[in-house]
Amino acid sequence: MATRSGRGSMAAKKGAVGIVPETTEAPATAEALPSRERIVETAMRLFEERGYHATGIAELVKESGAPRGSVYFHFPGGKEQIAVEAVERAGARLAGRVRENFPKSGPEGKLDCDGALVAFLERVAFQVERSGFRAGGPLLIVASETASGGGLIGDACRKAYEGLATAFREALEACGCAAEAASSLALTILAAVEGAIVLSRSFRSADPLRRVAADLGVLLRAASSRA
């Protein structure tokens, strides 16, 4: 639908250099973010809470505080483009968090991989709890809403999930997991986490997430003991 990308205008802006120090690289508060950023960030939050179809442009504009008129300037592709970028960003952020929370590839195998996984899931559980079970799994809702259609958003979700699976797989391999076992376990972990988030939000209790974390720890130990 959208042949032009909204990013083009940003690139053009960056090209115009002067004595003025451009824009501050890292604005102190979230409110000081340029409007385009605010829209994407708010979209991530609202899509995570309510889903794609339940979130309107008007809501997006109001909550983000972004100027009404700039939505279709920054995102000529409309709501779909906003969702694509929100999904891409959410996926990248999640993958980064996975990499942060798992032990780096040590010289020798046998790192504490299942401990890291349990700790990681505890972080997720805490965040879901703290949000009043409104947040959690920024990809899941949008992915399930758009999986059937096969549009741009569905593609973005697939790529985001692939990135997440890769992050888990590499973490497992760094722990000495065999390649094929790692790719299988990565998918299982990803699936279990996403499912557990839904259950926890539905039950309004972080218990499912914690149970799943414990059981996945068992699974990792069982899989590594047979390697």
Chain positions contacting DNA, by CB under 7 A: 9-10, 12-13, 16-18, 20, 34-35, 55-59, 67-74, 76, 78-80
- Among its own copies, DNA, none, the one that 51 touches (CB under a kind-dependent 5 to 8 A) is its own copies
Element (H, E) at 89: helix 78-101
In 175-206, which residue ranges form alpha helices assigned H by DSSP? 179-203
CA distances from 213 to 156, 188, 220 (A): 27, 12, 11
- CA–CA separation, 159 and 220 (whole Å): 25
Binding flag, residue 32, its own copies (CB under 8 A): no
State the nearest-atom distance from the C-beta of 84 to its own copies, in Å.
14
Residue whose CB is less far from DNA, 16 or 226: 16
Q: How many residues bind its own copies (CB under 8 A)?
A: 51
Q: Whose structure tokens read 């259609």?
A: 149
Within 13 Å of residue 81, how many CA atoms lie on the same side as its CB? Answer: 17
Binding flag, residue 63, its own copies (CB under 8 A): no
Binding flag, residue 53, its own copies (CB under 8 A): yes
Q: Do the beta carbons of residue 82 and residue 64 sit within 8 Å?
A: no
Residues that bind its own copies (CB under 8 A): 49-51, 53-54, 133-134, 137, 140-141, 143-145, 147-150, 154, 157-158, 161-162, 184-185, 187-188, 190-196, 198-199, 201-204, 207-208, 211-212, 214-216, 218-219, 221-223
